[in-house]
Amino acid sequence: ALYLAGAGVGRLVLADDDHVDLSNLQRQIIHRQTSLGMSKTASAQQTLAQLNPDTRVELLETRLAGTEVLAQVQHCDAVVDCSDNFAIRFALNSACWQAKVPLISAAAIRMEAQVSVFDPRRANSPCYQCLYEEGRDGDLNCSENGVMAPLVGMVGSIQALECIKVLSGYGEPLVGRLLLIDALTMQLRSLTLQKNPDCTVCRD
């Protein structure tokens, strides 16, 4: 969100139902010690306003679910998934496909991360569900499993960069490719992703 506001994105919609906790500050650098206990969206809005007061920041202080996800997604030009659970990831993917809105997806845990862009406007683009089966359980989240903080920063920066590329039509985004980051050895690989012809979300 910081890089997007800095780049001059005119409208950002922040969705989060959580509050700022001391344990977040190591990696969620949009928040400050002075924001402890505040809602994360309001805290982020404060920092973003200091960076670029011309970016309109809208807050959804709720855990998006059901039809609400599509209702919000269809008013956006791109969705950046920074969530920590599979339920919302699948819901965002499905809503993005229905609304034909590109999804910039990422996950980071411990010393590993992955990033990809799913673009329903492109006929050959796979979707998130081509990659992961819905219904799998076992969310791995950062608060319980740990993550090296600068890795989250790297991944967030890559997502912001991909988002700017998608919004501006500049360069070649990570569509049909999965970028894998191994921070332990600092090796980056990218795998080619194929569309799953039986995918219930994106098949024609």
Q: Which residues bind Zn ion (CB under 5 A)?
A: 127, 129-130, 199, 201-202
Smallest separation, CB 65 to Zn ion (Å): 21
Q: How large is the greatest C-alpha to C-alpha distance in the chain, in angstroms?
A: 50
Please report the sign of the dihedral spanned by the C-alpha atoms of residue 68, residue 15, residue 96, residue 56.
positive
Residue 121 C-beta: closest distance to Zn ion, Å = 14
- Cβ-proximal residue to Zn ion, closest one: 199
Which residue lies nearer to Zn ion by CB, 52 or 98?
Answer: 98
Give the distance, in angstroms, between the CA of residue 110 and the centroid of all CA atoms in the same chain: 18
Tokens of 88: 């919302």
In whole angstroms, how close is the CB of 192 to Zn ion at the nearest point? 15
In the bound state with Zn ion, the residue whose beta carbon lies nearer, of 127 and 174, is 127
CB 137 within 8 A of CB 81: no
Q: Phi then psi for 129, rounded to 5 degrees?
A: -75, -20
Which residue lies nearer to Zn ion by CB, 4 or 201? 201
Q: Between 130 and 161, whose beta carbon lies closer to Zn ion?
A: 130
In terms of Cβ atoms closer than 10 Å to its own Cβ (0-12, 13-18, 19+), residue 145 is exposed
Q: Helix, strand or coil for residue 80? A: strand
Burial class (CB in 10 A: 0-12, 13-18, 19+), 100: exposed
User: Rounded to whole angstroms, how far apart are CA atoms 189 and 186?
Assistant: 10
Query: Please, what is the minimum distance in Å from the beta carbon of residue 196 to Zn ion?
Result: 5
Residue 17 C-beta: closest distance to Zn ion, Å? 27
Helix (H) or strand (E) holding 104: strand 103-109
Cβ proximity to Zn ion: between 140 and 199 the closer is 199
Pick 164 or 174: Cβ nearer Zn ion: 174
Q: How far is the CB of 131 from Zn ion (least distance, A)?
A: 8
